Amino acid sequence: MTRAARLCIVTDIHHGKPSFSKAGPAALGLMAEFRRFVDETRPDLVLDLGDRISDEARDIDLVLEQEVAEAFAPIAAPRFHLDGNHDRDYLDVTDNDAILGRKAGHETVDVGDWRLVVWRADAKLHRPSGFALQDPDLAWLAATVAAADRPLAIVSHVPVSGHSQVGNFWFQNNSRFSTYPTADHVRAVLRTATVPVVWISGHVHWNTLTMVDGIAHITLQSLTETFTTAGEPAGAFALLELSDEVLWRVHGRDPFTWSARTEALARRWLAPLPDFREVVGSKMHAAAE
């Protein structure tokens, strides 16, 4: 019998002006729905995966962030806030720390029989190069994975699965901004994990599941995104239940449900083949000679 954990998760709130398909003015009303969901669910903790605002200018962004912080304030459960790129366009991590009453850095917290890994890797979006994976962020993750003695639920703003952006309103034609250019270094670290791993991110504004090396990489739809929901804000937030089974359930207009046996998430896959032309004995190899 394992001790179960329940987490309520919201991401990409994007409070502020409307921006293309982001319904920013709906954010605070939808946060009331999220608070009701948290009240009913009584989770062990609450996670915000970042992009609390749609940035405009430093003075405006400070006000917007404060309004989102006030929307979270009535929640009694422990809260963990990650910063997204829009929280960092005109603001520093320390600005967000002050508003949220937080001291942001990487951290772990054991919940039930699992370990939550809050990976606050640098989420500043540099233009035109994109996100920059920092060596200390990768080193901290590698040490945390190496030391793991129980299943890991890892969370970040930016996804690292390398999943396709075909069909994504924002990223089909801007996929270089959808992840870290060196996300393969993160996946190489994850491949060394000997425990079950599930990884949950925001940023890309859609619900996805991508299995890589037996690890489940999930992205959660934004609270206020409309591109998948016929112009209405998705109102998306999720419940993650962690026990012998992992259950992921996204509520709102863009529902998504997935589950798996925890033990299956500990199996690393065979390393993929190289180019067939390099595989001795393959038909492609023969054809190439």
192 forms beta bridges with none
Of all residues in this chain, which one has the CB nearest to Fe ion in the complex?
A: 51
Minimum gap (Å) between residue 23 Cβ and Fe ion = 12
The one-letter code for the residue type at 52 is R
C-beta closer to Fe ion: residue 49 or 190: 49
Cβ burial of 114 (10 Å; 0-12, 13-18, 19+) is: buried
Q: Does 87 bind Fe ion (CB under 5 A)?
A: no
Q: Is 65 in the site for Fe ion (CB under 5 A)?
A: no
Which span (51-59, 65-73, 100-108, 160-168) binds Fe ion, by CB under 5 A? 51-59
Contacts of 270 (CB under 8 A, 6+ apart): none
Q: Does 12 bind Fe ion (CB under 5 A)?
A: yes
> How many other CB atoms are found less than 10 A from the CB of residue 236?
29
- Binder among 44, 51, 87, 137 for Fe ion (CB under 5 A): 51
Number of residues that bind Fe ion (CB under 5 A): 2
What is the nearest approach in angstroms of Fe ion to the Cβ of residue 99?
Answer: 18
Least distance in Å: CB of 180 to Fe ion?
A: 16
Length reported for the chain: 289
> Residues 220, 200: contact at Cβ < 8 Å?
yes
| Residue 225 interacts with Fe ion (CB under 5 A): yes or no | no
- Stated as kind and residue range, the H or E segment containing 258 is strand 256-261
The alpha-helical segments, DSSP class H, found in the chain are 27-41, 58-72, 93-100, 135-146, 183-190, 283-288
| Closer by beta carbon to Fe ion, 221 or else 262 | 221
3-state secondary structure of 49: coil
Least Å from the CB of residue 170 to Fe ion: 8
- In sequence order, the 6+-apart residues with CB closer than 8 A to the CB of 118 are 47, 80, 82, 106, 107, 108, 109, 155
Closest CB to Fe ion among 13 and 242?
A: 13
CB nearer to Fe ion: pick between 87 and 213 = 87
Shortest distance, position 281 Cβ to Fe ion, whole Å = 47
Q: Which is nearer to Fe ion, 20 or 269 (CB)?
A: 20
Rounded to the nearest 5°, which phi and psi values hold at 220? -105, 135
Could you tell me which stretch among 23-31, 46-54, 95-103, 109-117 binds Fe ion (CB under 5 A)?
Answer: 46-54
Q: Binding residues for Fe ion, per CB under 5 A?
A: 12, 51
